Each structure stands twice: as structure tokens, then as C-alpha cells.
Amino acid sequence: MGSCFVIMGFGEKTDFQSNPQRVLNLNRTYEDIIKPVVKEAGHTCVRADEIIHSTVIDKPMYDNLLSADLVIADLSTANVNAVYELGVRHALRPQRTIVLAENNFSFPFDLNHLSILKYEHLGKEIGFTEVMRVREKLKEKITTLMDSPEPDSPVFLFIPSLQAASLPKTPAMVAAAGPPAPSSEPTDREQKSFAELLVSFRAAKDEVKEADDWALPLALLKRLKTMQPDDPYILQQLALATYKFQQPDATTSLVNAKNILSALTPRTSSDAETVGLWGAIHKRLWDATQNREDLDESVKAYARGYYIRTDYYNGINYAFVLDVRASRSEGDEALVDRLLARRVRKDVLKICDHLLPGASGAGEPKHDGPGVSGDELFWIGATKVEALFGLGRRDEAGSLKAEIVEKERQRLIKAGRDSNAVKWMEDTLNKQLSALGELLPP
């Protein structure tokens, strides 16, 4: 049995090369394609976030780049860390490196001399037919490379006199290391890998109902940040959990969240998730302080997030803060904001209709849009309710609200979960509609 180390991003990452930009769930690539094929080929399979370690990932990452019998690198979303680590592997080992990438991948550096296995990613999922096709291609590559002495590293191909790196333990190194450290029980932090903590965080986040419930997700995120201090997903979630927890008070928590998110340069970022969170923080700061600068910053952030991704979340919030600003303005400025809010809501209706289930079955998208499932269907429906309400179609909004609440209740019952959980979702929607009703002209 050999060892395989996988180089790639994890979780949801924005693909800036798509037009319009998409968010790809890279875990689907790993769990549906790479890991099953590697295990079927008889090798262990590990991704960086699955390595058990107590601090930063650098040391075990470099160890695996050198020692792994096989390395698979997925460069989708032009992940600069993955590209760098691929370069390190090519400099260390002449053989047994496979490169994958989503169809939209391109990179300024000349990678045309590499053999890249391309695949189509749909965003949240990868189609079954495509999964099976790429699995077969990857299996062929693994079988071929494991039995081939030919270099696939361009470094060793063009500089054939190079020797592969190794780390032999000389007597001097052994002596310098001294006697082995006394054994001790590993701490809880050392026992849990990054992946395990991430799973724990997501489970804890799913159980959140009130502000105080964010204490556990926040604690887990702080541990995750010690392992991956610069990861955008962790910083985004940490900012979210910080202001949702509302400690020591709501305003201070928003300022703290703003400082956390500033590390991702949200004013210039092209990551719609970062920009959307920046808009949410400033929207809440406006509510708390009535500082006009926060309101204007929220409008700009939601606008950029919406036009980057053309998504329902940024879109419906963009329309809302436009109406907030219109209610604080006069004349042409107020008129322009109200007209733009209506236009955005009309577009949001189309986005929601595209994402909501079609006649083919629950959770399946119309046309070729990304699949959605679980409570996301409720929030897409809630967004459509708000858009209809904001456009003056209140009877339609009321009927749809009753429908999506009942569907969510039945979904929870079918899943064996507490159906009362839908109440806080309905209350959240009602609160938003009430706030919007106060902003709109009679």
C-alpha cells in the first residue's frame, strides 16, 4: 500500500476565473472523485486539512510533499497555495504527481507543458456522469504512473542530471536529536485534526438558534484559526460568529468582526462571500449607530457582492439597504435608490425561480443551475417572498410564505428533527418583512 497526499483547497472557494463568478464546493471533488479512486487503487489518502497536528500545517505539509508515493494536485479556482505546493513537489520528486483542474482553470504562468485532467464542477455538486468519467480517467493515470519510471515533473524532465531529494538520518543527526522524549498522552488539540474540528464546527453552527448558541462555534473557530491562521473561509466564519454572538455587546462584537474581516481586504476583494459579510456588518453597525458612513459602506459592499456573483443573498440585501438609504434621502437621490431597488428585486425573483425546485423533484434545479437542498431551499423561498413584498405583490408574498414554512416543517419532520426549529426561521422572515414595510412608500 502506498501513500497519496492531496493538494487542493477545501470547502467552498470562489472561482474568480468564471464569468459570472461561481463558488465551488471543492469537498465534492475530493470526496466524490479523488478519495474513492485513491482508496480503490490500494493507497492511503490524506488532504492537508486531515493531518493531525497541533499548530500550523507547514512542517507536515512539506514532509508529505517529499515522502508521499503519489501526489494529486487540484488547481481549481487558481488556488495559489496549491500551485506553490505543486511546484515544491515537482522540485523534490521526479515521478508520480497528477494534476487536476476545473474546466475554467487558467493561470498566468505557463503550465501548458503539464498534463492536466480537466473536469466540470457545477458549484455545490458535480454531476454523477462527470464523477464517474473523471474517476475512470484518474484511475488510469494512477495505474500508469505507479508503474512508470518516466519523470512527470518538468524540473526533472528538463534537468535530467538532478537527483530526487531524500532525508536520510545520519549518525550526527541522530546524536544531535538526543534521546527520545518521554511518552505522554496527546492533548485534545493534538488528537483532533483540522478536518475533525471543521466537522464539529459545522455541526455546532447548524444547531444555533439564539445568540448565546454561537459560543461553541466561536470557540471551535478560534482553534481552527491557530491551525490555518490565514485561511479565508475560517476568517469569514470567525467574523460571522463574532458578531452573531453579540458579546460583550452587539456594537462591540460588530467592530471586532469588522477588524477580523479586514484581513481579507473587503473593500477591494472580489470574493463575494467576504464582500457580503462586510455589507452585513456595516448594515448592522448602521442599525446600531445610525452612522451614515456605515450605511453607504453597506450599500457599496452589497452592490459589489451582487454584481460579482449575481446571487440572491447579496441581491436582496442590496435592494433593502437601497430602500433604507432612500428613506433617509430626498428628491432625485431617493428616487434613484428606490428605482434601483425595484430593478434588483425583479432580477432576484428570476434568480430564485432558477434555483427553486422544478417539476422533476424536490431539491433538483430548473435548467442547469446548481442544486440546492436542506434549509437553503427555505431561505431561497424567503428571499422570493421578500422580493415579491418589496415589489408590492403582497398577496403572492403571503401565500408563498405560508407554503415555504409548511414545506420546511415537513422536511424537518421527515428528517427526524425538531419541527419547531422552523419558528425562528419564520420569525426572522417576518421581522425582515416588517422592517421593509416601514421603509416602502404607502
* pLDDT over 60 (residue 178): no
> CATH number of 195-439: 1.25.40.10, 1.10.4190.10, 3.40.50.970, 1.10.3720.10?
1.25.40.10
Q: How far apart are the first and last CA of the chain?
A: 72
Top pLDDT among 315 and 20 is at: 315
* pLDDT over 90 (residue 59): no
* pLDDT over 80 (residue 19): no
DSSP for 185-254 reads PPPHHHHS-HHHHHHHHHHHHHT--SGGGGHHHHHHHHHHHHHSTT-HHHHHHHHHHHHHHT-S-HHHHH
Pick from 30-44, 166-180, 329-343, 352-366: least confident? 166-180
Residue 127's pLDDT is: 87
The CATH fold assigned to 3-163 is: Rossmann fold (3.40.50)
Nearest-CA neighbor of 5 among 59, 45, 33? 45
Residue 321's pLDDT is: 94
Domain boundaries, the chain: 3-163, 195-439
Asked if 49 and 193 touch (Cβ cutoff 8 Å), the reply is: yes
Any residues with CB less than 8 A from the CB of 243 and at least 6 apart, and which? 250, 253, 254, 256, 257, 280, 281, 284
> What is the C-alpha separation between 283 and 320, in angstroms, rounded?
10
* pLDDT over 70 (residue 184): no
> What is the C-alpha separation between 227 and 208, in angstroms, rounded?
24
Nearest-CA neighbor of 193 among 61, 57, 51? 51
Asked if 306 and 321 touch (Cβ cutoff 8 Å), the reply is: no
Q: Collapsing DSSP states into helix, strand and coil, what is residue 4?
A: strand
* pLDDT over 50 (residue 190): no
Computed from CA positions of residues 259, 263, 269, 274, in that sequence, does the dihedral angle turn out positive or negative? negative
> What is the C-alpha separation between 63 and 43, in angstroms, rounded?
17
> What is the C-alpha separation between 108 and 373, in angstroms, rounded?
36
Q: Collapsing DSSP states into helix, strand and coil, what is residue 175?
A: helix
